Amino acid sequence: MRFANQPILLVEDDEVDAMTVKRALKDLHVTNPLVLRENGEEALAYLRDPNNEKPCLILLDLNMPVMGGIEFLQVDKHDDTLKAIPVVVLTTSQEQQDKVASFNLGVAGYMAKPVAYQQFVEVMRTINAYWTISEIPQ
C-alpha cells in the first residue's frame, strides 16, 4: 500500500475470510499492519479512538451482526473526521441494492469475494495496485 506504516482496517466477522485477507496480503508482500474489527460498531470505536492511527484504507464486509456494512457507511461517510478514508467493500453480497447503497454512500470500490483463493489474491492484488498509485489527500 502507498502508506506502508499506516494500518489497513478490515471490518469482517468471518474468521476464515479474515484469515484469507491476512494470507493474501502477506503473499502480496503488503507490509501495512492489519487491524481487524468484527462489526461496524467496533470499527467506529477504533476509528474514533484518538490513540489509534487512522487507517489508509478500510476493507468492509457488508453482512455482519450488531452493525452491518451499510449502517457503518451511513455513519462513517457522514462523519467529517472519517469520511475521507477510502472504503472498499469486500463482500459475498451480489445484491444490486447493496451495490447501489454502497456507492451512494461513497465507497471507493465494491469487490465480490471469490471462493477460490488464487482469485481472491488477484482481487487483493488489484486493490493493492490501485491504492499504491492512487493520490490520496493527507
Local confidence pLDDT in tens for the 138 residues of the chain: 455 678 999 999 999 999 999 999 899 888 889 999 999 999 999 999 999 999 989 999 999 889 999 999 999 999 999 998 999 998 887 788 989 999 999 998 898 888 888 888 888 888 888 777 666 555
Task: Quote the pLDDT of residue 121.
Answer: 85
Q: What is the pLDDT of residue 133?
A: 66
For residue 136, what pLDDT is reported? Answer: 59
In which residue are the cell numbers 470505536 written? 45
Tell me the CATH architecture of domain 8-130.
3-Layer(aba) Sandwich (3.40)
Instruction: Name the residue ranges covered by the structural domains of the chain.
Output: 8-130
Cα gap 39→65, rounded to integer Å: 6
Planar angle of CA 106, 83, 134, nearest 5 degrees: 70
What's residue 50's pLDDT? 94
Whole-angstrom distance, CA of residue 120 vs CA of residue 117: 5
Indicate the pTM of the whole model.
0.89
CA triplet 125, 103, 31: central angle to 5 degrees? 25
